[in-house]
Amino acid sequence: MIRLSRLILPALLLASPTLGATDVSMMGGAIRFPVPDAWVPIMQSEGEKETQVFQVPGASAADATLARVSITAQKVPNLNGFQQFAGNLRSHATALTDYAPGKANSPTENVYTAKEGAVKLDYFERYFYSDGYAIQLRCIRPAGGDAAFRAAFDKGCAEVAAHMPS
């Protein structure tokens, strides 16, 4: 029995998707999700529309200062309110400098590149509607650069998306 528990406990720890994650709560606890421990909270707003922003440490100075993830949530009355929320944020994206659409994999995604100053950035947005809340997950990182950092960044964003309420 002891030998079996020695095998099971490490397996459970390795299989845990939230291992090394910080739990985040928004909208009075109605929305909860984990983010990687390495992500540094740099902004939080509360109110009718709430936003949490995390800086994602990177391999280079550009990665470290420009890579970030934001989660924005707002209470909406119905699915039409969700569509308006997503439409407004998508409209804002098209106004960014050198906006160029990318290939989204679903209607709830928005993928594009744009410039911030002189730096070209990759944007990945995903929209969720859950229990009367409209949610945007927005992942921004420098285009190109370190492949290992891009892979780790994208993995972290995908894990957050997988834990969003839907």
pLDDT digits (tens, 9 = 90+) for 49-71: 999 999 998 877 767 678 999 99
Q: What is the pLDDT of residue 91?
A: 96
Q: What is the pLDDT of residue 82?
A: 97
Q: Which residues pair with 152 in a beta bridge?
A: none
Q: What is the pLDDT of residue 145?
A: 77
With b meaning 16 or more CB within 10 Å and e meaning fewer, what string describes 40-58?
Answer: eeeeeeeeeebbbbbbbeb
How would you classify the pairing of strands 31-36 and 100-101? Answer: unpaired
Give how far Cα 134 sits from Cα of 15, 40, 53, 77, 85, Å. Answer: 30, 24, 17, 10, 7
Rounded to an integer, the average pLDDT of 126-149 is: 94
Q: What is the pLDDT of residue 144?
A: 83
User: Identity (one letter) of the amino acid at 53?
Assistant: V
The strand ranges marked E within the chain are 21-26, 31-36, 40-45, 49-55, 68-75, 100-101, 109-116, 119-130, 133-142
Q: Among 54, 57, 67, which residue's Cα sits nearest to residue 143?
A: 67
Name 106's Cβ contacts closer than 8 Å, sequence gap at least 6: none
Q: What is the SS3 assignment for 11?
A: helix
**What pTM was estimated for this model as a whole?**
0.85
| CATH class entry, domain 22-162 | alpha beta
Half-sphere exposure of 60 (CA within 13 A, CB side): 13
